């Protein structure tokens, strides 16, 4: 054995001896022929488990490299992944010629790769078909290192899966062509929710122990992106195997420029995807000789010794490997029954009464029936129980232990009996076995036991309830994922309405399931089982479905949000709210908040239409805004009235999903393009087809007409990398634009029709001259995605779509989570916005007014952004699933959104922008007065409102001011209010009637802060300059505090007519406001001073700065007591605890630190787990902090609100606002009421429950 390998064994010996059970490991090593039976006996003679492990390691140390590899593989196979990981770096290198470790010539390298990749094991009796296996290997070699597809196709049950797995048992093939490994996925017939689960499982398997590990992808698009990332970064040169593909649309989720082998009944299934394609046809029946060989292996005889009935039996089996195996297994147990089984097959007495199977295999039915009849009665019942297993799912042993109420060993013995009889298949997965039926066998069982299926489903549900009682499975249990994915399926199959109701409407279940797989599958189940759930009342299901849809973006987060707190934000009539309230009241010691001024957040859409029976991929307005055309997964084109949703035209337009549609400029025609590679033109009023274009060789992703009326020019783009221009008056393509090296996702004419812009998966946006089809410009979007080291990100950037500004000077481009705006002439980046850290952008559209951009996000919502101010102006919720498209009407007054939830929603742009519920500015003042919460807020920029926070009523509103209001304040006695304006004017008004009492033109720049003194007679203010004004407004006298060299950041009043101010010049000053003189002047920091706080006893103050430090000062000596270092970003805010012992500081990285005032020592570090790659911990800066009166709790504002336990530094609760960027938090003296405003202008008055 290599010295390195020996060292690894010796180094990790202790851990190995402590944990391993030797018996299974030795079985594997014996089958690998590296351990003898005598050595096994020697190990078994030891008394304790630890001694046996020690003896085994001693023996291995005396052997060669093969035994090290065999031991490593055995650990892996038996589920000791953590121990195998310790030995991984010690695995000796394999040269292609060596490493043989068993009779069949499979090296331990191959075994490891196939085990880790989930490749099925060989059947009990296996006969190779070398010609076909070699053909599959040859086609895999043809792929070379280029992306592409190998399709192994043939009838059901012809052995495609077994042959494919066999082709992979080749050391040379794996080492030379797929050193990144192989990844096997059993797909089967799936809907979108099922496919998403398969993708999530594959991603989590590939992310295993990876730094990339994050929440599960929320939809298929996101999963596709995640998978692409993993295959490129972590598993380059690996092979993806998709077993049993039924539909071509499924393949699109895996169309990621990687190497894929698929098995399918349908030869044409890869037509929908791009790349090199190779095929291997598997004949429907085994050759006669091969059939005899299988029988001979089962009965342990030479072919020449088989009785004459063997030939007839093979003929009756129609060459099906599955059927021959079933008969062979019977003959092994009853070697004298050749004649009997032949007659049974010939008599066809077990013929099914009716065929519901997708396959029509009489021989299989006969063989299955005979095999099942031969089981003893107990075993027949156990086998019948398998009729309700979901298709294409490998079921862990534990599920069947619960179903049959037995120990693992007993269950494995029963199931092994079925495996031996070829009635079931088994896969080893770590320490446990997983079992599954072939589709044909499951079809047979469900048909045979059709009348008992409901009872069988009921039985498994009852056994689950008995085992788990009121608990839910935890992720560490091997059966956990099975129940989360299929418990509702079993309850629906059993028609257990109450149980399904209790499960699907339980916040515990929703929390547990969404934490594991995100919300998409649950939303699908609400739709799938709506007929059962709605029997009493459909509103409850709608409440829960809406709750999941609207909070989907939060439910995918790490750390997982408190579902009860989210529920408390629902409208009070919602069942979700009522459940959450009950739960919150029951939980003692927990911290929950009621949003007391929430109106049932208004639905802002003007119209919802459901014209399609499946996902709506695209929709658009006609030029006159009166009609909308839409298309989608149901292969139809619909045209309906924009005002009412009344259907005008419905056309079954294509043979595959329609991906895009577009009106001509005069509204006469509608173009459609599809995954069937065709482009079609239709009369938009009669629905008659005008022409079909078939020159693209892959799916066509987008189509768009030119903008000028009467000129029928159409641009289309496709996965074949080309953009084509068509003149409707001609039969053929007018121009082809070549230059992209990957799929082209989107294309758009410039407003004057001179150019066409195209976006591609190759990471570029190209501009083409429409007349000549010449490439004019190319922008590499990848350059704008840098990693932490400012290097270009090494993963391809998929450019989704683009949109022109009205004058054609600018173009907006979407990639990943960014909006990028470019100057068309210079290709310079003008501006960029990171829209979300939690989801990718699916689509965008520029509003014809050029300032607004609508963005569809992968978590079911749509946002409107102002591209000039780079701010989010509205957030549109309502879709129940992910949104594919967003488009403005030609005049920008409306926009529409289309979604996977089969709906199109039409929104009024103005109403949506306004309704950021009554847009309030984030500058507000709050007075807590005898249990009342009075809020002074700036409404729609030019009005001042006095709001009663308890009732959400407006007590007073001023007339519109001539200049926008920039700040405001209330007097403590609630008699007066003051406000500053952007023009520099300050006004004082009477709250009783809103009458302005005094006005002063105080500054040349915008007023930043104003505050009354406690006697309400003086108003102190500061602006964007270095002077503070002290204005006795009743006597009209003014004192100026001059001394700062740069703009004032803020100030606060102290006792005895003193004032503390701090500035961007790095100084803090104490003033006498009566005389205007400076009493203390501290040069505190090298950078701007961002905040100051005063200790409760008045002896100290703290300062925080852009220089990343905070300091504690003595008022008396003006000297630094402690310099607090450790923050990694600007320290934005600070506050002292009421007990005078602690100081809390918050920074721009989202981190909060708690310090001991006396010693300056850091006591706690409050930082939630970083949510996702690139997102600051607090969802942004920490902007404000406040302690509870007992100094035991702390509340902070930033991207959202958080409450902390000061003693432990742990987070107690998080409140997610609709918008973000909360500038401050106002807290009542008893720490029970909290007031803030988000960047959408929504006011939150929260009360502790």
* 602-632: pLDDT as tens digits: 566 677 788 898 899 999 999 999 999 999 9
Chain-centre distance of CA 185, in angstroms? 20
Question: How far from 1015 is each of 961, 990, 1021, 1032, CA to CA, in Å?
Answer: 27, 15, 16, 11
Beta partners for residue 1155, in sequence order:
1143, 1162
Report yes or no: 1115 and 1080 within 8 Å, Cβ to Cβ: yes
Question: Which residues are 628's β-sheet partners?
Answer: 621, 640
**pLDDT, mean of residues 789-805:** 74
Within a 10 A sphere around the Cβ of 529, how many other Cβ atoms? 19
pLDDT at 604: 66
pLDDT over threshold 90, residue 557:
no
| Averaged pLDDT for residues 875-885 | 80
How far apart CA 921 and CA 937 sit, in angstroms, is 7
Which band of pLDDT confidence, cut at 50, 70 and 90, is reported for residue 69?
A: confident
Going by C-alpha positions, the residue among 725, 747, 755, 847 that lies closest to residue 799 is 747
Give the model confidence (pLDDT) of 263-311 as tens digits: 998 888 888 787 889 999 998 778 888 889 888 988 888 989 899 889 9
For the segment 1165-1182, the average pLDDT, to the nearest whole number, is 61
Question: What confidence category does residue 1171 fall into, taking pLDDT thresholds of 50, 70 and 90?
Answer: very low
Beta bridge partners of 1244: 1236
Cα 41–chain centre separation: 52
Residue 559, preceding bond cis, omega within 30 degrees? yes
Antiparallel, parallel or unpaired: β 1018-1023 and 1028-1032: antiparallel
- pLDDT level of residue 564 (50, 70, 90 thresholds): very high
Query: Are 675 and 688 contacting, i.e. CB atoms less than 8 angstroms apart?
Result: no
Tell me how far apart the alpha carbons of residues 614 and 997 are, in angstroms, rounded to a whole number.
Answer: 63
Q: Is the dihedral of CA 581, 582, 584, 585 positive or negative?
A: positive
In this prediction, residues 1098-1121 reach a mean pLDDT of 94
Q: How far is CA 707 from CA 704, 731, 733, 753, 1076, in A?
A: 9, 21, 19, 6, 66
State the pLDDT at residue 1227. 97
Highest mean pLDDT among 92-96, 292-296, 385-389: 385-389
- Banded pLDDT at 102 (limits 50, 70, 90): very low
Q: Say whether pLDDT at 1231 is over 90.
A: yes
Q: Mean of the per-residue pLDDT values for the chain? A: 87
Strand order in the sheet with 965-970: 965-970, 976-981, 985-990, 996-1001
Exposed / middle / buried, residue 470 (Cβ in 10 Å: 0-12, 13-18, 19+): exposed
Beta strands 1058-1063; 1067-1072: pairing state:
antiparallel
pLDDT of residue 194: 87
pTM above 0.85, yes or no: no
Decide if pLDDT at 173 tops 50: yes
Strand partners, 818: 815, 834
The more confident residue out of 1210 and 978 is 978
Rounded Cα gap, residues 457 and 499, in angstroms: 12
1205: burial class by Cβ within 10 Å (0-12, 13-18, 19+)? middle
Range from 544-548, 672-676, 740-744 carrying the lowest mean pLDDT: 544-548
Per-residue pLDDT at 838 exceeds 70: no
Q: Is pLDDT of 915 > 60?
A: no
Comparing CA positions, the residue from 267, 278, 252 lying closest to residue 140 is 278
Q: Can you give the pLDDT at residue 354?
A: 36
Task: Give 905: exposed, middle or buried? Use CB within 10 Å, 0-12, 13-18, 19+.
Answer: buried
Of 636-650, 1053-1067, 1135-1149, least confident by mean pLDDT is 636-650
Burial class of residue 688 in the structure, from the number of CB atoms within 10 Å of its CB (0-12 exposed, 13-18 middle, 19+ buried): exposed
Note the pLDDT of residue 94: 56
Tokens read off for 51: 């001694």
What does the alpha-carbon distance between residue 152 and residue 262 come to, in Å, rounded to a whole number?
Answer: 6
Most confident region among 422-431, 553-562, 1002-1011 by mean pLDDT = 1002-1011
Residue 1147 to residues 1109, 1205, 1213, Cα–Cα distance (Å): 10, 18, 20
Average pLDDT (717-732) is 91
Q: What is the mean pLDDT of residues 725-731?
A: 89
Residue 25 has pLDDT above 50, yes or no: yes
Residue 167, H or E segment: helix 160-167
Q: Tokens in use for 374?
A: 């031969």
Please give the average per-residue pLDDT across 1059-1074, as a whole number. Answer: 95
- Which pLDDT belongs to residue 803? 94
Is the model's pLDDT at 1032 over the cut of 80?
A: yes
pLDDT at 1172 over 50: no
Average pLDDT over residues 31-42: 84
Give the pairing type, strands 276-281 and 148-153: parallel
1102, pLDDT greater than 90? yes
pLDDT of residue 232: 82
Helix (H) or strand (E) holding 488: helix 480-493
Query: Where does the pLDDT of residue 332 fall: very low under 50, low under 70, confident under 90, or very high at 90 and above?
Result: confident
Distance (Å, rounded) from C-alpha 1124 to C-alpha 1109? 6
Q: What is the pLDDT of residue 358?
A: 39
What phi-psi label fits residue 1140: left (phi over 0), alpha (psi between -120 and 50 degrees) or beta? left
Handedness of CA 23, 24, 25, 28 (dihedral sign): positive
Residues whose CB falls within 8 Å of the CB of residue 935, separated by 6 or more in sequence, listed in order: 924, 925, 926, 946, 947, 948, 949, 1235, 1243, 1245
pLDDT at 1152 over 90: yes
Predicted confidence at residue 19, as pLDDT, reads 81
Confidence bin at 1169 (pLDDT 50/70/90): very low
Alpha-carbon gap, residue 1165 to 1204, rounded angstroms: 11
User: pLDDT tier at 30 (50, 70, 90 boundaries)?
Assistant: confident
pLDDT at residue 359, rounded to an integer: 41
499/97 Cα distance (integer angstroms):
59
pLDDT score at 429: 60
Residue 930, Cβ neighbours under 10 Å: how many?
4
pLDDT digit string (tens) for 696-707?
Answer: 999 999 999 999
Q: Which of 432-436, 699-703, 939-943 has the highest mean pLDDT?
A: 699-703
pLDDT at residue 775, rounded to an integer: 95
Helix (H, G, I), strand (E, B) or coil at 602: coil
- Bridge partners (DSSP) of residue 705 are 714
């Amino acid at each position: 054995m290599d010295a390195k390998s020996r060292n690894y064994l010796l180094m990790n010996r202790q851990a190995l001896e402590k944990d391993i059970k030797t018996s299974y490991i030795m079985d594997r090593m014996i089958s690998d022929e590296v351990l003898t039976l005598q050595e096994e006996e020697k190990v078994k003679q030891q008394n304790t488990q630890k001694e046996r492990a020690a003896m085994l390691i001693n023996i291995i140390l005396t052997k060669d490299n093969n035994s090290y590899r065999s031991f490593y593989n055995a650990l892996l196979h038996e589920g000791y992944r953590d121990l195998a990981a310790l030995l991984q770096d010690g695995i000796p290198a394999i040269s292609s010629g060596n490493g043989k470790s068993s009779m069949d010539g499979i090296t331990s390298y191959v075994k490891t790769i196939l085990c880790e990749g989930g490749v099925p094991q060989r059947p009990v009796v296996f006969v190779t078909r070398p010609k076909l296996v070699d053909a599959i290997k040859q086609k895999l070699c043809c792929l070379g290192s280029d992306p592409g597809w190998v399709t192994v196709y043939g009838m059901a049950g012809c052995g495609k899966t077994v042959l494919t797995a066999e082709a992979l048992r080749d050391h040379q093939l794996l080492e030379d062509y797929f050193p990144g490994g192989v990844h096997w996925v059993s797909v089967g017939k799936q809907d979108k929710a099922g496919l998403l689960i398969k993708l999530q499982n594959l991603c989590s398997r590939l992310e295993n122990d990876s730094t990339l590990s994050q929440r599960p992808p929320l939809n298929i698009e996101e999963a596709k992106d995640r998978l692409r990332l993993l295959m490129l970064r972590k598993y380059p040169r690996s092979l993806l195997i998709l077993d049993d593909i039924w539909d071509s649309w499924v393949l699109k989720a895996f169309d990621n420029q990687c190497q894929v082998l698929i098995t399918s009944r349908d030869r044409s299934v890869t037509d929908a995807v791009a790349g090199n394609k190779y095929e291997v046809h598997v004949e429907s029946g085994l050759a006669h000789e091969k059939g005899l060989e299988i029988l001979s292996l089962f009965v342990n005889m030479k072919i020449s010794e088989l009785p004459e009935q063997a030939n007839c039996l093979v003929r009756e089996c129609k060459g099906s490997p599955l059927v021959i195996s079933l008969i062979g297994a019977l003959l092994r147990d009853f070697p004298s029954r050749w004649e009997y089984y032949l007659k049974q097959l010939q008599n066809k007495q077990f013929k099914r009464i009716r065929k519901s199977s997708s396959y029509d295999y009489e021989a299989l039915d006969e063989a299955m029936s005979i095999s099942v009849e031969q089981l003893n009665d107990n075993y027949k019942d156990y086998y019948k129980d398998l009729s309700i297993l979901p298709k294409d799912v490998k079921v862990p042993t534990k599920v069947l232990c619960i179903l049959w109420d037995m120990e693992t060993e007993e269950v494995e013995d029963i199931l092994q009996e079925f495996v031996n009889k070829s009635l079931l298949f088994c896969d080893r997965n770590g320490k446990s076995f997983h079992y599954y039926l072939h589709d044909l066998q499951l079809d047979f069982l469900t048909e045979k036991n059709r009348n008992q299926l409901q009872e069988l489903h009921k039985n498994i549900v009852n056994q689950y309830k008995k085992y788990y009682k009121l608990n839910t499975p935890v992720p560490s249990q091997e059966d956990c994922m099975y129940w989360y994915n299929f418990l509702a399926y079993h309850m629906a199959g059993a028609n257990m309405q109450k149980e399904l109701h209790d499960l699907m409407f339980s916040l515990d279940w929703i929390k547990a399931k969404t934490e594991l797989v995100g919300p998409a599958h649950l939303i699908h189940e609400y739709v799938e089982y709506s007929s059962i759930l709605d029997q009493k009342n459909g509103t409850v299901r709608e409440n829960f479905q809406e709750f999941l849809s609207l909070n989907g973006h939060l439910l995918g987060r790490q750390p997982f949000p408190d579902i009860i707190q989210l529920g408390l934000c629902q409208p009070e009539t919602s069942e979700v709210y009522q459940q959450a309230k009950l739960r919150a009241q029951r939980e003692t010691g927990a911290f929950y908040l009621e949003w007391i001024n929430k109106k049932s957040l208004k639905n802002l859409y003007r119209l919802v239409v459901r014209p399609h029976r499946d996902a709506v991929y695209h929709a658009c307005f006609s030029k006159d805004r009166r009609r909308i055309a839409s298309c989608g997964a149901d292969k139809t084109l619909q045209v309906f009235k924009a005002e009412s949703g009344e259907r005008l035209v419905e056309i079954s337009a294509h043979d595959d999903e329609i991906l895009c549609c577009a009106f001509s400029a005069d509204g006469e025609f509608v173009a459609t393009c599809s995954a069937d590679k065709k482009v079609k033109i239709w009369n938009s009023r009669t629905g008659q087809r005008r022409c079909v274009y078939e020159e693209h060789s892959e799916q066509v992703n987008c189509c768009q007409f030119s903008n000028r009326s009467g000129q029928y020019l159409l641009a289309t783009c496709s996965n074949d990398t080309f953009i084509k221009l068509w003149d409707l008056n001609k039969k053929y393509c007018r121009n082809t634009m070549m230059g992209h090296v990957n799929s082209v996702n989107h294309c758009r004419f410039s407003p004057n029709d001179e150019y066409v812009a195209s976006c591609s998966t190759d990471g570029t946006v190209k501009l083409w001259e429409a007349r000549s089809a010449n490439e004019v410009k190319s922008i590499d979007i990848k350059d704008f995605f840098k990693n932490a080291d400012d290097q270009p990100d090494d993963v391809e950037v998929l450019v989704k779509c683009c949109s022109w500004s009205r004058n054609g000077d600018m173009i907006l481009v979407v990639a990943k989570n960014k909006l990028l705006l470019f100057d068309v002439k210079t290709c310079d980046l003008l501006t960029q916005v990171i829209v979300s850290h939690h989801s990718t952008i699916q689509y965008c559209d520029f509003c014809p007014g050029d300032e607004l951009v609508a963005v569809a996000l992968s978590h079911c919502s749509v946002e409107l952004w102002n591209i000039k101010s780079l701010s989010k102006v509205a957030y549109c919720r309502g879709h129940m699933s992910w949104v594919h498209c967003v488009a403005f009407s030609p005049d920008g007054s409306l926009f529409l959104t289309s979604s996977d939830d089969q709906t199109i929603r039409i929104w009024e742009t103005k109403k949506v922008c306004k309704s950021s519920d009554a847009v309030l500015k984030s500058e507000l003042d709050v007075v807590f007065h005898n249990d009342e919460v009075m809020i002074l807020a700036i409404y729609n920029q030019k009005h001042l409102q006095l709001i009663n926070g308890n009732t959400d009523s407006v007590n007073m509103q001023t007339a519109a001011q001539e200049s926008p209001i920039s700040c405001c304040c209330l007097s403590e006695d609630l008699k007066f209010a003051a406000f500053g304006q952007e023009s520099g004017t300050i006004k004082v008004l009477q709250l009783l009637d809103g009458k302005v009492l005094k006005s002063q033109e105080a500054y040349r720049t915008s007023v930043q802060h104003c505050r009354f003194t406690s006697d309400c007679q003086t108003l102190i203010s500061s602006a964007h300059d270095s002077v503070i004004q002290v204005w006795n407004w009743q006597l009209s006298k003014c004192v100026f505090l001059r001394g700062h060299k740069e703009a004032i950041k803020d100030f606060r009043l102290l006792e005895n007519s003193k004032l503390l101010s701090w500035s961007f010049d790095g100084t803090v000053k104490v003033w006498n406001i009566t005389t205007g003189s400076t009493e203390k002047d501290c040069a505190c920091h090298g950078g701007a001073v961002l905040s100051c706080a005063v200790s409760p006893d008045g002896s100290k103050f703290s300062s925080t700065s852009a220089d990343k430090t905070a300091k504690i000062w003595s008022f008396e000596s003006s000297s630094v007591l402690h310099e607090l270092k450790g923050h990694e970003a600007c320290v934005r805010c600070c506050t002292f605890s009421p007990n005078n012992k602690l100081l809390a500081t918050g920074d721009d990285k989202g981190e909060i630190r708690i310090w001991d005032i006396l010693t300056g020592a850091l006591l706690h570090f409050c930082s939630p787990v970083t949510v996702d790659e690139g997102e600051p911990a607090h969802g942004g800066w920490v902007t404000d902090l406040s302690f509870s009166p007992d100094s035991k709790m702390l509340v902070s504002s930033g991207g959202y609100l958080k409450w902390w336990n000061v003693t432990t530094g742990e987070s107690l609760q998080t409140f997610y606002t609709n918008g973000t960027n909360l500038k401050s938090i106002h807290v009542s003296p008893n720490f029970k009421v909290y007031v803030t405003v988000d960047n959408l202008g929504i006011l939150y008055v929260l009360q502790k429950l």
